[in-house]
Chains A and B, each alone.
Chain A
Amino acid sequence: MDNTVIKIDGLTFFYTPDDEDTAPQDVLSGVSLEIEKGSFVAVLGHNGSGKSTLARHLNALLLPKGGSVTVFGMDTRDEALMLEIRRRVGMVFQNPDNQIVSNVVEEDVAFAPENLGVPTPEIRQRVDEALKTVGMYKYRTHAPHLLSGGQKQRIAIAGVLAMRPKCVVFDEPTAMLDPQGRRDVMRIIGRMKNELGSTVILITHHMEEAARADRVVVMSDGKIVMDGPPRQIFTHVEELEALGLTVPGTVKLMWELRQRGLDVPLSTLTVDECANALAAHFAGK
């Protein structure tokens, strides 16, 4: 129990419709999930599966209509605890342009500690530290709008790290980035988990990104339909495709080969694993 940082119990949510005649549609219906300290969980799902809505419950941006969300032992419906929850659960959004609040990089990163009333010398320390973690320290006096999308997203991550959160939720952080920016962001996510010991929750529809997680949760129509380690989840190629999701290219290749009668393992998540498995197969022949 002590290792559980987030506990979602029977969470139901719907947006109140504008006119009273239409019945509200559940965006989340009875989601239960426990997330362990220090784990890296990827939440997969196609558009409209409710994964972003779920994410917004984790730091009290949205409040449950039914069931409960408990974060570090705090019920998100308790308004008095809102800031305590939000400083522990940071959130990085999709569009870097829409989360940067200042015309100067370091002032943007300082925004959260400023809001929390951190003393000035410590803000400086936190800002420098966060910018170094994301590798943007030398840009600290630049104007964000002159940076690339990937660089802006790294600034946004630094802005969240400056709160020193215990857990960070990434809501499709790479969806608007070029491949280089995507790689940079994924590398930072890896560092956060491994070096800072943060709990990371990654909302995504990129299978290659989800494959790096310790655990993959698949959502569809506001429900959790699969939950397990990536190696196990990605063997369900047909089920995933039925949900409008693709599997990583390496898994897909192995699956096609198996369909043609080759006895190769399905759970190859990286290109290296895939190549080794194929080499072993043909060497064994």
Chain B
Amino acid sequence: MLRDITLGQYFPGTTVVHRLDPRTKILMVVVYIAALFNAKNWISYAAVLAFLIFAVAVSRIRLSAMLRGLKPVVFIVVLTSLLNLFYARGEPIAHWWIFTITREGIKAAVLMAARLIMLVMGTFMLTYTTSPIMLTYGLELLLNPLKKLKVPVHELAMMMSMALRLIPTLIEETDKIMSAQKARGAEFDTGNLIEKAKAMLPVLVPLFLSSFRRADELATAMEARCYHGGEGRTRLNVLKFARRDYLTFAVGLLLLAAVLVLKRFGL
């Protein structure tokens, strides 16, 4: 049952978006967010939305997957929209008890909801179309300049990819331990929240112990295979910017420029 979790939310594919260099995608997310937060009017929003829709369409990610991913943020979207709805000052159109709804409030609420949803969906485009390994590798390369400031970039990237590597193994193990505890009469599905949390304790303790053992063995195996940090390491798959990457950059920067111009002239 735990095995059904979609790990890292990656949907394998071979579309142009999938094949883009992970560095391109990470930087594009940054550009996209910058554009989104500088959008102050309907035209800018429409431009950013068009960009998002284009990316989703090209990547062939199903709309249902995009919507399902939104579930965890629904609460935040609703809350921020409500706050915007009631706190904006301006021309009142409705009044009830201490609440006043203004024309500006409605506009702010709608735009805020749109902004948050588009923000989350934009980041999905990165994680849905990039394998965790490529994502880590891209991040490592992008952060490489920080090595000069003594930031352990390689080590952080290695930790992240090890964590990603161990997730399926640990899920399998959790499944096994839960089955073993169930066979001895443990109940995980009944009782209130506190009882359920307590029932998880006999699962977590062995899981933790075995994780430490695993980490130890994995470290030994890595050493046996000559791992000695990032120094002098080469790569099987080397990332290289292709024409599609430069094109994507051009489109992204154009979008950002347009949004900034629109903002400057207050259109």
Contact = CB atoms under 8 A, between A and B. Distances in A.
Contact of A159 (B162, B168, B225): B225
B172 interface: yes
A181 B165 CA distance: 23
A90 interface: yes
Contacts of A163: 225-226
A103 B221 CA distance: 16
Nearest to B213: A98
Interface in B157-179: 161-162, 164-165, 168-169, 172
Contact of B227 (A90, A110, A115, A124): A115
B128 to A, nearest CB: 16
A101 B218 contact: yes
A83 interface: yes
A119 to B, nearest CB: 6
B150 interface: no
Contacts of B161: 101-103
Interface string A85-98: 01100110101011
Interface string A64-97: 0000000000000000000100110011010101
Contact of A107 (B133, B221, B226, B228): B133
Contacts of A59: 224
A107 B236 CA distance: 7
Nearest to A156: B221
Contact of B234 (A91, A100, A120): A120
Contacts of A90: 224-225
A104 B161 CA distance: 11
Contacts of B224: 59, 61, 86, 90-91, 93, 160
Interface of B is mostly: helix
A159 B221 CA distance: 11
Contact of A114 (B172, B217, B233): B233
A87 B236 CA distance: 18
A127 interface: yes
A42 interface: no
A108 B238 CA distance: 15
Given A93-B217, A120-B234, A145-B172, A104 B133 contact: yes
Of residues B222, B225, B227, B232, which shows the largest number of chain A Cβ atoms within 10 Å of its Cβ?
B225
B248 interface: no
Given A112-B225, A123-B236, A159-B225, A103 B132 contact: yes
B83 to A, nearest CB: 41
9 contacts: A86-B223, A93-B217, A101-B221, A102-B133, A106-B236, A113-B234, A127-B236, A145-B172, A160-B225
Return the 10 tightest CB-CB contacts between A and B, nearest first: A99-B221, A110-B236, A98-B217, A112-B225, A145-B168, A91-B224, A117-B232, A115-B226, A123-B236, A86-B226
Given A127-B236, A160-B224, 19 more contacts: A86-B223, A86-B225, A91-B221, A91-B224, A93-B224, A97-B214, A99-B217, A99-B218, A103-B131, A104-B131, A111-B225, A112-B226, A116-B226, A120-B235, A120-B238, A123-B234, A145-B168, A145-B169, A163-B225
